Structures are given as C-alpha cells and as structure tokens.
C-alpha cells in the first residue's frame, strides 16, 4: 500500500499524523532544514561537530567581514534565555560545554566577537540536535518557533558571511562593532 509522506513520517517518528501534517505545513521547519543543510555545507565542509567550532570561529573572526550589529537582538535574547538553568539544561540535553557556561556567566557587553559567534553557533547546533535527536514530540516543535526563527537568522548571516569570505578569497576587512569592543578600521586593499 502506498502511503503519503506525512503518513510515513508520522510512522517513522512514532507521532500522531495530524501533528506531523501541522508541522509540515509550517514554513519554519522547512526553512530550518534548508538553512541547516546550507550552513553545514558552506560553513563546516558538510559536517558540524562541536570539536570544529573553535576553528570555525577563529576562521570567521580573523578573515571575514561581519557586522556584529546583525546579531545584537538575537544574542541578547538567547543570552538572557539561557540564564535560566532549566532552559539551559533543556537546550543542552546531556551535552556539556565549559566554554558555553563561561560565556553565559559574562555580562553580554563584555563578550568578545569570538565568544559571540561560538555562543550563537552552539545554540543553533543544539536546536538542530534537539529537533532531530531530542525526546520531544513533534507537537512541541512549533512551540519553539520564535527561537527556531532566530536560529535560521543566525545561519543566514553566517552563510552570507561565508559566501562573502569565499568571494573575496580571504582578502577581507575585519569589522568589529562597538557592541563588542573597539572598532577596527578596514584593512587597506591590495
């Protein structure tokens, strides 16, 4: 018997078909999946793992044009949200990160650009893991829509940044916003 994708997906996830159909009708889930696929491919050479975050962050901070102001609201939201221990534990599930905990103990105005990027990438990564591997049912995914939309925006910015970096063959300016310290003027172009 031929089944619809929704029927197959609901069966695979062991979830109610009506909840799966409701999820699939919402553009947020599709946008996250598409953005994640591009993000993983363009920013992490096809496979994201926590061990690669530091290299990615250093690469993006040292060789890329990035306007930190595009992250300000999103950073403030997630930094505030994960001050709550219960929400932080839900985000992290069973994963540990001393570096992430240290970032959360700092006042947001004292974060350096590399800490901002690390924090935001880690949050996106954990949302991805919680969506695909978490123990939450499909019905709960849409409850997190505003947070998932912020994750999508983070990925869009980082994907665009990777594209700019690639297009300029690493002959870029480093732009740090006054939000995270001093402003560094553009490097002279060669």
* Average pLDDT value for residue range 85-111: 93
Q: Does residue 98 have a pLDDT over 90?
A: yes
- As a whole number, mean pLDDT of residues 63-79 equals 85
Lookup: tokens for 169: 């063959």
Whether 159 shows a pLDDT value over 50: the answer reads yes
Report the C-alpha gap between 76 and 72 in whole angstroms.
6
pLDDT digits (tens, 9 = 90+) for 116-150: 999 999 999 999 988 777 656 676 777 889 999 99
Q: How far apart (Å, rounded) are the C-alpha atoms in residues 68 and 111?
A: 11
Q: Retrieve residue 124's tokens.
A: 């996106």
Per-residue model confidence (pLDDT) at position 30: 84
Decide if pLDDT at 169 tops 70: no
Nearest to 64 by CA among 187, 177, 174, 157: 174
pLDDT of residue 15: 84
pTM assigned to the model: 0.80
* Whether residue 175 has pLDDT greater than 90: no
């Amino acid at each position: 018997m031929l089944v619809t994708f929704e029927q197959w997906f609901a069966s695979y996830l062991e979830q109610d078909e009506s909840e799966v159909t409701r999820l699939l009708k919402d553009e947020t889930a599709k946008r996250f999946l598409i953005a994640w696929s591009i993000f993983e491919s363009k920013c992490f050479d096809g496979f994201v793992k926590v061990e690669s975050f530091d290299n990615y962050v250093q690469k993006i901070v040292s060789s890329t044009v990035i306007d930190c102001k595009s992250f300000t609201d999103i950073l403030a939201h997630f930094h505030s949200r994960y001050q709550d221990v219960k929400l932080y534990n839900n985000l992290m599930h069973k994963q540990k990160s001393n570096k992430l905990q240290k970032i959360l103990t700092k006042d947001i105005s004292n974060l350096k650009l590399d800490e901002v990027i690390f924090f935001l990438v880690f949050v996106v990564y954990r949302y991805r893991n919680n969506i695909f591997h978490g123990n939450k049912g499909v019905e709960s995914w849409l409850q997190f829509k505003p947070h998932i939309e912020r994750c999508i925006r983070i990925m869009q910015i980082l994907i665009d940044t990777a594209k700019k970096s690639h297009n300029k063959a690493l002959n870029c300016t480093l732009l740090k916003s006054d939000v995270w310290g001093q402003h560094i003027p553009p490097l002279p172009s060669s």
